[in-house]
Structure 1
Amino acid sequence: MDLHAVPAFTDNYIWLLRDRGGRALVVDPGEAAPVLAELGPMPPHAILLTHHHDDHIGGVPELLERWPDTPVFAPEDARIPRATRRVADGDSIQVGPWRFTALAVPGHTRSHIAWHGEGLLFCGDTLFSLGCGRMFEGTPEQMHASLQRLAHLPDAPLVCCAHEYTLANAAFALTVDPDNPALRARIGQACSAHDAGQPTLPTTLRSERACNPFLRCDDPAVRAAAARRAGRTPVDATDTFAILRGWKDVFRA
């Protein structure tokens, strides 16, 4: 599989998936220049978008100026103006040799989707390695449900997050769950990749289920950390998630 994380801005990744002939699928192109540099004269099969934030869609107009016939698949949201096909939860698409299904994962934004297929999960800003996205438009109930939906995908896909946040998230995860050996192993792996100048992504869903505190809100250690933070016992896993997300919002390593 020819999968490539293309750096953009300070810490974004634009994901490219290439077929055997070199044609690519482009996911969340926040800026066009890195994509144009990677693809050269070869038009992409399609562009997939996860949500409306400009650091995920800002490069679309320039890419369409270069390749005006490129299909753009996006959620139902008027804030994404250049889509050629809108998708809803459960819609499947065929692009080049690949098939992907759109999954509604509201929380970061109300219309956020993820793309799942071919052993891959393009999750935008919903799930990060060792963390999750901020809730700009959604509720803790929505975000927790979205994360649980991703965590329970059946084929353990590679997780293609849209930002290089792994080491920044690691300090908070260790504060919550310091005795988790899977977490310490993941941090060591991420540090090695960073020191070698390589992305820490993609990660695996299996790894995230073992060490990402936001996917483990039923775990006794995570629940106990949330209780200490809140000064009370969380009502349930959603309440644990809400405490963790509020804590992370103000956390400083």
Structure 2
Amino acid sequence: PDLENWKAAFPAYAEAVVKDRLTNSEAAWQGDTAFVLAALQAGKGSPLLARLAERIDFSHLAYGGMSFGGGIAVKSCDAEPRCRAAFSLDGVVYDPAMFDHTVRAPLLVLHTDWLEYPLYRGQLRDAAVHPMDFAFRRWQAEGEARDDYRLRVRNSAHMAMTDLVRLTRWPGRDKAYGTIAPGDMDGILTGFTLAFLDRFVRGMPSGFPEKQLAQWPLVAPHDSRRLPEHPPQSQ
């Protein structure tokens, strides 16, 4: 998916995808997310909601999600002025409005290892490019200075981004979870997301991302700003 070919194909993609059920689902999920936030802030309906409303600082919001929910989290944060940061765990997005578009808040994206376990059928196993590089950023803004962190977790497959990585022991699990040890996956997910939120939501020093990258060599930085001008080669 080189940049020039992508730009040429994007209008056809945008026209087709707006009719797809996945795009409609994005709108529904984002609406549900906004409804939950409004219900929490109102604090009505149950004693639990009232207690939560008292404890939540609604001026320091963050959104996070995995897979389809990862894209929804970033979209929801982008639409909510009070959102300070968003993280996406191997997330995807289909809404054309999110391509060639800069997210207004700091962003953390943890990708699974697409070199070993591609998320999409026919996805190129090229460390230099991921399909979601075209989302949540301007295509021509290579020198743009913003807090956009995209990382690849080596040896992990898509479902490793869930708690199920600790529970599943069936033969063939590597296709769904990869070969990463559950303890490593837990440490990476909690270490990077909490340090990211500490820095950008709580305003606390956390060493993000240098400290966590030094602690977890399985995590490789991915520079989504360097979109290739020519098609990458399959490995």
| Common topology (TM > 0.5) | no
Normalised by the length of structure 2, the TM-score is: 0.28
Higher strand share: 1
Higher helix share: 2
- Highest RCO, 1 vs 2 (Cα 8 Å, sep ≥ 6): 2
